A and B are shown apart, each in its own frame.
Chain A
Amino acid sequence: MITPPALQTKSVIKTYQSDSGTINAVDSVNLTVNAGEFVALVGPSGSGKTTMLSILAALLKPTSGEVLLDGIDQSGLSEPQRVKLRREKIGFTFQANNLVPFLSARENVELMLKLNGRLDKEGKDRSVELLTRLGLGDRMKNLPSQLSGGQQQRVAIARALIHNPSLVLADEPTASLDTERAFQVVETFANLIHEQKRAGIMVTHDLRMCEFVDRVLQMRDGKLIAEYSGADQISNFMANTRH
């Protein structure tokens, strides 16, 4: 029996109207991400990767095409159904404003379980375990303002994974981190996605981070123009590409 991909898009198009006419921010994108696979979405500014990420996150409806998450087409869902989908099946980390400022690190992670009505003893234990694994065992009671940028991103990673989502999305997770922290964060992220068999997509400008992914999808002018998989192809891509 063939396992369906965790995420699949079919001819996804997103158009915007502007004074100069219709702009295709995303143009007929077809992609597939399997469970346990970590993929980088790269491209220059304006290439459509952020719009694509927003569509995959069920924050934006495509103009046409299908976005299948665990086989369910999210493009036809109502707003409340999309909110439910985000809550149950998707995990997020963002560039900034990642954490809820008045909740401690542990409460931020547990919030996802609370949202899903699943905060039991097992969930609490799992939150502690995950934060400890991410090196935040002694920071669980700290508020985001008491954590460094790297620690905040690690809390966001824990929050993105705690509720066992099918898809984990990261938008420039290393944008505000120094190089050393950035490598640590992405490596940890990659390890957890592989271990927990989630489908992970990371949008990044920093091609050095592609070292930790299984595949690289390159976008330009809204189109998916290239795909690199395997260590050699990805290394060559990293060596030869300048945005």
Chain B
Amino acid sequence: MTNEFQLAGYLAWKEIWRNKGRFFLVSLVIALITLLVLFIAALGEGLGNGNREYLSKLDSELIVFQENADFVIQSSRLSPSKVNAIRRVDGVAQAGSFAYASAAIVVTGEAEPVKIALIGLEANEPGTPTAVGGRPFRRNLADEVIIDSNTAYRSKLNVGDTLVLRTSQAEKEKTYDLTVVGIAEGQQLGLQPTIFVPIQTWEEVRPKSSAEIGNNSPTPNVAIIKIMDGFTAEQVRANLLAEIEKIEAGTLQEVIEALPGYTAQQSTLNTQGAFTLIIGILVIGGFFQIQVLQKVGQIGVLKAIGTTTPTVAIASIIQIVVITTIGVFIGALLTFLLSLGFPPSIPIVFNGFTSLIAIIALMAIGPLGGLVSIQYAIRIEPLKALGLSS
């Protein structure tokens, strides 16, 4: 068996080396498929990340919604008294109000304002992102803002700078000056850059209709729950539903999957990736099949002079694996080099795990595509291949 592997390796390598140009072209095709698959995977990760980034980084386990909101943040309204009631439920360690609105910030030098997600949070309660630069909120009413790194990149604002928020108040545009007190790492929600303000400030600056002007009591959309040690999320959810009427509670994963368009978007990109892999399998399979058809005589001679069928099969497999590996390596390198040129505003994220899965899948397309050709090579009869059959 050792001799068979050595011989197969020798034959496989000699053929590749003496036909470098032809095999390199196949590797390039695989490299382009790799580039496409990795970019689709990175785009899927980037878009998914842009949708869920804030939620996935929360240091909490449950989010409470108004009944029948179907875990959609924008569809839910909770009264402050309900949030207080939630805090008293057995197993709830902390509950923080979360209020969401869309707004825009005015960026110096930019003609168009940058659309952002305006999020109101309670100081010292769950939901406040960890500021990597600056500090968290200290009070619930202050002209302060924490911005996420994406907002910081687009607005070029730093801690201590003044952010100009523009919202519509009873059909009039109004601007608010807020001091940036902290910058948090990527906290996008719904593919929008985010800014966080204390909940009372949020009520003051959020877009309002004329009927809402003068209302100083913020109505949060949801409550973010941190559970006590010794309790499971399921236990606390059961307690919440038993003790408080007209609410529903979801885990972070359930809430992420309910984000508007999230599942459809991810499944679309996953389908694109899967189809690219299938096309890759067919293209590579076609190439190796044509190659085997072109060398029927050669395989016939090898078998006639005493080369075993396993040796022929192993040589084919080695070639396929080598060509695929080179192609995937070139493709991954090209992807990396191209990614260096993309600005952070483009939602492309190379997640190690996702990229690894894509690379493993890509490594499999050569052998999968080559299966038919290997089967064909195995079945070549030297008599027929050499024209000796009657």
Contacts and interface: CB of A to CB of B under 8 A. Distances in A.
Interface string B276-309: 0000000000000000000101101111111111
B390 A98 contact: no
Nearest to B3: A117
Interface string A98-134: 1111110001000110111100000000000000000
A8 to B, nearest CB: 22
A114 B10 contact: yes
Contacts of B10: 114
A87 interface: yes
Interface in A37-71: 50-51, 53-54, 57, 59-60
A171 B385 CA distance: 14
Contact of B18 (A92, A97, A143): A143
B170 interface: no
B242 interface: no
B148 to A, nearest CB: 58
Contacts of B15: 102
Contact of A50 (B295, B303, B307, B390): B390
A92 B14 contact: no
Which of B11, B19, B388 has the largest number of chain A CB atoms within 10 A? B388
A208 interface: no
Interface stretch (A78-86, A184-192, A213-221, A228-236): A78-86
Interface in B319-333: none
Nearest to A160: B305
Contacts of A100: 11, 298, 301-302
Contacts of B304: 57, 59, 86, 92, 94
Using C-beta atoms within 8 Å of the partner chain, give the interface range for chain B: 20 to 34
Nearest to A159: B305
B382 interface: yes
Interface residues of A, number: 37
A54 B298 contact: no
A155 interface: no
B238 interface: no
A59 B383 contact: yes
Interface in B373-390: 382-383, 385-390
B114 interface: no
A51 B382 CA distance: 13
A157 to B, nearest CB: 13
Given A96-B387, A97-B297, A97-B298, 14 more contacts: A50-B390, A53-B388, A80-B308, A83-B303, A86-B304, A86-B305, A87-B307, A94-B301, A97-B385, A102-B14, A102-B18, A112-B306, A114-B7, A115-B307
Interface of A: 16, 25, 50-51, 53-54, 57, 59-60, 80, 83-84, 86-88, 90, 92, 94-103, 107, 111-112, 114-117, 143, 159, 171
Interface of B: 3, 7, 10-11, 14-15, 17-19, 295, 297-298, 300-309, 382-383, 385-390
Ranked nearest first, the 7 interchain pairs of A and B with the lowest CB-CB distance are A87-B306, A97-B297, A102-B18, A86-B306, A102-B15, A54-B388, A117-B3
